[in-house]
Amino acid sequence: MGLTVKEILNISEGILKDSGDSDYKQDAEILLCHETKYTENKLFMNWTRELEDVHTEKIFELIRRRADGTPTQYLTHEQVFMGHKFYVDEHVLIPRMDTETLVVTVTEHLKGSPAKMVLDLCTGSGVLAVCLAKAYPSLKITASDISEEALTVARKNAVSAGVDKRISFIQSDLFAAFKTGFGGKKFDLILSNPPYIKSDVLPTLQREIYEHEPMLALDGGMDGLDVYRKIIETVPAFLNKNGALFFEIGSEQASDVQALLEAADAFSEIRIIQDLSGKDRVISARLTQVYPEKKHKK
């Protein structure tokens, strides 16, 4: 006789609890529902149903991988962001609620802006570009990433959301693949959630992050600011005058990124925005000089 849904769930919860999974109940339910295609309600309505061995084996394989540290989202290939379901795999970061602050901030800016050309730099899974494309159908959005595998995920999400015709995808190490002004065109708004974790902090992160999420999308260099420096140094050639720049930042990086923007001598209206927990999460600025004038001593 096969195991019942209740028995499988109890065994799965025990395995995950022993592995140190703090969300062992939720993860066990999610993975069981994923394999059986049950909703949560249907799961409990079938509490005493025996599952075929093939399903049971697949469920326990998922549980084993979760117990070994693989994030649940990589096992189900699904993450909810801004109320929408997105595909994710090991080639992209798992979108987090913190990043919703960046989407909300940019969306608020766009309400009173004539911006048409938008660049999502370091797009990863493409959630930022897709959310903006869904909210503002008139935008012409370019999404770029150094990783072709990440762009494959981003394209998949754009197709699923029905906005793939309005997003151009470009593989590029920041602006390296762009000609100055993007073929004579510049952007009205550039947003980015770049790598910003300090290199020596990475090994201290949860194993789900350190061992499974892509280091390329996490490692911001010794002080976490390497990518910010590169973008801020180069971005004036790609933004229209008075164009807007938006970054997601680590909760303790606001003053450092603000100092970089001020030192560039090309930006004004620098703002720091907090997330729902009151932590610094987004910094924005307006480009006032496309090419900053060099100061000469008299």
**Tell me: the pLDDT tens digits for 99-144?**
999 999 999 999 988 889 999 999 999 999 999 999 999 999 999 9
CATH entry, 80-287, from 3.40.50.150, 3.90.1150.10, 3.40.1710.10, 3.60.15.10:
3.40.50.150
State pLDDT tens for residues 154-206: 999 999 999 999 999 999 999 998 875 566 678 999 999 999 999 999 999 99
Q: String of b and e for 111-120 (b: at least 16 CB within 10 Å)?
A: eeeebebbbb
Residues 6 or more apart whose Cβ sits within 8 Å of residue 173: 146
Q: Where are the domains of the chain?
A: 5-68, 80-287
Query: In terms of pTM, does the model score above 0.75?
Result: yes
**Alpha helices for 85-180 (secondary structure H):** 100-111, 127-135, 148-161
Whether 214 and 256 have beta carbons less than 8 Å apart is answered as no
Highest mean pLDDT among 45-49, 90-94, 235-239, 287-291: 90-94
Task: Give the per-residue pLDDT at 290.
Answer: 61
2 versus 37: the higher-pLDDT residue is: 37
- Pick the more confident residue, 52 or 252: 252
